[in-house]
Structure 1
Amino acid sequence: MTEKQHHCYKATIRSKNTKPKLLLRKVPFCRGFRYRLNHPRLPGHPDLVLRKYRTVIFVNGCFWHGYENCKYFRLPKTNIDFWQKKIERNKERDKKEQCQLAAMGWHGITIWECQLKPKIRMQTLESLAYTLNHIYLEDRKVKTYEIPESVNNLMAAEPKPSYGKTKHP
């Protein structure tokens, strides 16, 4: 493959409506999870935004985001310096966006393209449904606060009771 052919090939790779992203969209919708696509005001333009769950889902390509635990991730044999730097920048950007989302109170889930391969796809999607339900229940749990016994239980507006002799004017 010549350099020009390689460039043309890489230029055809899309970021929206890819096969993994289309696969991921079908199952949550069938299970009643409603979402928006590529919300422009959230950091990173998440692939799926589930407002009810305050959760965003990113579907990342193993190569482009440097998923080293994947057998499909392999650096090209040419222009190694360029690709290493590019993938590192992508990883740093992903971390920064996840931190920004967390600071805004959003849960972030990353699903890797290799997790949507036929062998483990259903396991991944089951895990996603479980995680979303868990997030929903945890966020809506009634929080109870207990005051330790060592703390004086007086209200701030109550005067401290005085016992014993009191002086009357």
Structure 2
Amino acid sequence: MTDVHDPETRSRNMAAIKGANTKPEIRIRKALHAAGMRYRLNVRDLPGKPDIVLPRYRAVIFVHGCFWHRHECSLFRWPASRAGFWRDKLNANAERDQKAIQALREIGWRQAVIWECALKGKAKIDFQETMQRLIAWIQSDEIAMTIRGR
């Protein structure tokens, strides 16, 4: 049996968490591709390394997990164990997200954030509705958009 409090075990468990190519990202990418949208993935040259980059529209899309990006919704719960560690880590993630969005805005990129709760859980939105809103935003001149669960 593994000890979850052992730093080596904890490190292995954290390493197993995907940072790219998550199921929500893949689902959105497939729908964008089916709609004729072409994109690049995880462009390192842009602030925040956006999940999806649409250069033609000068737009980026972040697909955020509610836990990792500290979204105050039904999918987010502060961990009971190691509260200080998690508070610092998740607050730093949220702060980094805001800095990336501001930096993108300053260099002329539009940004959309799609929260995990929009795609799963009790508060999820119909996927077709989500994609219609996203595609309409991509084709618009709006600077920013957020899609979250109900």
Alignment TM-score > 0.5, same fold: yes
Q: Which residue of 2 aligns with 1:101?
A: 104
- Structure 1 runs (4+) deviating above 2 angstroms are 4-11
Q: Which residue of 1 aligns with 2:13?
A: 9
Larger Rg: 1
| Aligned-partner residue type, residue 133 of structure 1 | Q
Q: Which residue of 2 aligns with 1:42?
A: 46
Of 4, 26, 33 in structure 2, the residue corresponding to residue 29 of structure 1 is: 33
Of 123, 126, 134 in structure 2, the residue corresponding to residue 128 of structure 1 is: 134
2-side partners of 1:3 and 1:11: how far apart? 15
Q: Which residue of 2 aligns with 1:155?
A: none
Count of residues in correspondence between the two structures: 136
Of 84, 90, 93 in structure 2, the residue corresponding to residue 87 of structure 1 is: 90
1-side partners of 2:17 and 2:130: how far apart? 24
2-side partners of 1:41 and 1:6: how far apart? 31
2-side partners of 1:8 and 1:76: how far apart? 18
Consecutive unaligned residues of structure 1, counting only runs of 5 or more, are: 140-169
Consecutive unaligned residues of structure 2, counting only runs of 5 or more, are: 144-150
2-side partners of 1:75 and 1:23: how far apart? 27
| Aligned-partner residue type, residue 21 of structure 1 | E
1:7-55 residue CA offsets vs partner (Å, 9 max, x unmatched): 4333210101111111111101100111000111111111111011110
1:71-95 residue CA offsets vs partner (Å, 9 max, x unmatched): 1101111011111111111111111
Q: Which residue of 1 aligns with 2:114?
A: 111
Identical residues among aligned pairs (%): 43
| Aligned-partner residue type, residue 126 of structure 1 | Q
CA RMSD across the alignment:
1.9
